[in-house]
């Protein structure tokens, strides 16, 4: 066998895609082939936000059908990754207990302090090493306890979103490690569930399942799935759990990552951090709100979440509602490149930007309240956001280097956001070190190559990254005008009063 064909299905908060990877086993070079895209969005009913996982399941099957048509008889495996923290509940017949809530649902607002009154935050962090965000699974489950939800009373198992889709494909119910780590109730050192923390919050522990590592082979496509597709060639396709948390798959495929290279996995969220071989859990990490999420091959993605392209996604949506024009991301970035710096900034992680009704109005309100000049054009608005994102990158990296004691010589930005040349260049300028941008499809690439590790083709993360470097073009952005951007960073810290 000269090559192997694997299918990655990568589902994000705004859409999903199916990408086939053909790995040449002689040259150890990967080529990718985008086969299919589909939308995904939160659905609001009354005051709750849900994910339509039934629609996603249909799109997963559509993805496999397209792959089978193009690579008939050659497709060997499929793996699914999604975002973290969200989950589905199944009853004792393994049927869905309602649609899963979306992490931006308001039911978790104000609940964190109540959780801390029952289990001190220091205890939670010392065990899990996970940053405190109200969207975490821990607070979502506690919200169901507070609501006395019948969903929780009849639930017999909890599957993270990719675990659910992989279960429907394979018939095997497990929790994959990287996504399980985002719940904030997985012990970072033992990699076992923190049953005692859940019990103190009256969260049932009988819903938790076995934890498996990224790259685990779950089984073959279920017979009924193969029959439904009418493709006999699909009967021997393996279902492999990659790093099912999209961040973990993306970081695995970061080609430049080493001890002196920080990373930004850029998409709806920007995940900013460094890779470690074991959890780093101490008071300084907790106070700086860093997370020790699980990575592939036993690594730890020591990072901090910040809002990324979500803010620009929302501005695109608002502009469509206001003018009927659908701006592309490239059009918005080009407007920003031509615009001047306003000298104003936002903290992209201010809670008001998490899920506002109108993002543009929210930004203008923030600037008014902080006494800053408001942008006079759409280009100025987008440049203000991208500049603020780049400046927040430096803020987080400075925290990370102080906690870890590591100096950084370069930054690797990958994921869909790495197409944003202005963000890449501004990050290089602000950091004063080169930025290496790419690959854009890092999540799917990581997903595919972790499937290859499950088949025994790849033995280590170093081998995986060597294949990425051998297969994809990485663009380099050298820093410019460092003194100017040092001054801008000082203004950013002062105006936003960041600690």
Enumerate the active-site residues.
Answer: 246
- Maximum Cα–Cα distance across the chain: 66
Instruction: Read off the tokens for 46.
Output: 């009354």
DSSP string, 167-218: HHHHS---EEHHHHGGGS-B-TTT-SB-HHHHHHTT--STT---EE-TTEEE
Looking at the chain, how many residues does it have?
499
Helix (H) or strand (E) holding 124: helix 121-128
Q: What is the dihedral of CA 363, 368, 372, 377, to 10 degrees?
A: 50
Alpha-carbon gap, residue 201 to 196, rounded angstroms: 9
Q: What is the dihedral of CA 13, 47, 327, 339, to 10 degrees?
A: -100
Reference 480, options 402, 425, 438; nearest CA is: 425
Alpha-carbon gap, residue 62 to 36, rounded angstroms: 8
Question: At 37, is the secondary structure helix, strand, or coil?
Answer: strand
Reference 270, options 459, 382, 118, 414; nearest CA is: 414
Question: At 423, is the secondary structure helix, strand, or coil?
Answer: helix
Peptide bond between residue 439 and the one before it cis (omega within 30 degrees of 0) = yes
Alpha-carbon gap, residue 144 to 70, rounded angstroms: 44
Bridge partner residues of 38 (DSSP): 16
Q: Which residue has the tokens 């995904």?
A: 40
b/e code 402-421 from CB counts within 10 Å (16+ = b): ebbeeebebbbbbbbbbbbe
Q: Which residue has the tokens 């944003």?
A: 420
CA distances from 215 to 159, 164, 418 (A): 17, 16, 26
DSSP string, 56-97: HHHHHHHHHHHHHHHTTTTEEEEEEEB-SS-EEEE-TTS-B-
Alpha-carbon gap, residue 367 to 374, rounded angstroms: 6
CB 391, CB 430: distance < 8 Å: yes
């Amino acid at each position: 066998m000269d090559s192997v064909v694997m299918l990655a299905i990568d589902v994000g908060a705004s859409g999903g895609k199916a990408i086939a990877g053909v790995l040449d086993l002689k040259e150890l070079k990967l080529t990718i082939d985008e086969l299919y895209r589909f939308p995904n969005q939160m659905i609001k009913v009354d005051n709750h936000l849900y994910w339509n996982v039934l629609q996603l399941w249909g799109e997963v099957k559509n993805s496999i059908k397209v792959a089978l048509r193009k690579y008939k008889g050659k497709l060997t495996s499929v793996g699914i990754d999604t975002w973290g923290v969200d989950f589905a509940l199944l009853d004792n017949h393994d049927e869905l207990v309602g649609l899963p809530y979306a992490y931006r649902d308001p039911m978790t607002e104000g609940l964190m302090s109540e959780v801390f009154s029952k289990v001190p935050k220091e205890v939670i962090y010392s065990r899990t090493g996970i940053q405190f965000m109200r969207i975490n699974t821990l607070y979502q489950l506690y919200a169901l306890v507070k609501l006395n939800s019948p969903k929780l009373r009849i639930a017999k198992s909890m599957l993270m979103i990719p675990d659910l889709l992989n279960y429907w494909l394979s018939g095997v119910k497990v929790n994959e490690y990287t996504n399980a780590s985002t719940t904030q109730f997985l012990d970072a050192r033992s990699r076992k569930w923190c049953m005692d923390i859940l019990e103190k919050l009256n969260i049932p522990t009988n819903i938790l399942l076995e934890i498996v590592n990224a790259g685990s082979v779950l089984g073959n496509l279920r017979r009924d799935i193969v029959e439904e597709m009418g493709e006999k060639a699909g009967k021997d396709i393996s279902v492999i759990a990659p790093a099912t948390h999209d961040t973990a798959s993306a970081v695995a495929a970061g080609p430049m990552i080493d001890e002196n290279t920080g990373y930004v996995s850029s998409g709806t969220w920007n995940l900013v951090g460094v890779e470690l071989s074991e959890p780093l859990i101490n008071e300084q990490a907790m106070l700086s709100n860093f997370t020790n999420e699980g990575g592939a091959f036993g690594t730890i993605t020591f990072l901090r979440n910040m809002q990324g392209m979500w803010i620009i996604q929302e501005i695109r949506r608002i502009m469509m509602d206001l003018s009927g024009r659908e701006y592309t991301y490239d059009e918005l970035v080009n407007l920003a490149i031509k615009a001047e710096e306003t000298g104003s900034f936002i903290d992209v992680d201010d809670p008001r930007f998490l899920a506002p009704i109108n993002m543009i109005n929210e930004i203008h309100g923030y600037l008014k309240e902080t006494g800053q000049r408001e942008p006079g054009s759409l280009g100025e608005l987008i440049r203000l956001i991208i500049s603020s994102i780049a400046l927040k990158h430096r803020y987080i990296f400075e925290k990370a280097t102080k906690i870890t004691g590591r100096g950084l010589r370069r930054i690797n930005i990958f994921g869909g956001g790495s197409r944003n040349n202005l963000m890449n260049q501004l990050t290089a300028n602000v950091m004063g070190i080169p930025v290496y941008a790419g690959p854009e499809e890092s999540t799917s690439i990581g997903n595919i190559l972790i499937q290859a590790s499950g088949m025994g083709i790849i033995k280590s993360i170093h081998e995986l990254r060597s294949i990425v470097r051998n297969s994809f073009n990485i663009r380099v952005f050298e820093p410019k005008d460092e003194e100017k951007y040092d001054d801008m960073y000082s203004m950013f810290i002062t105006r936003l009063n960041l600690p």
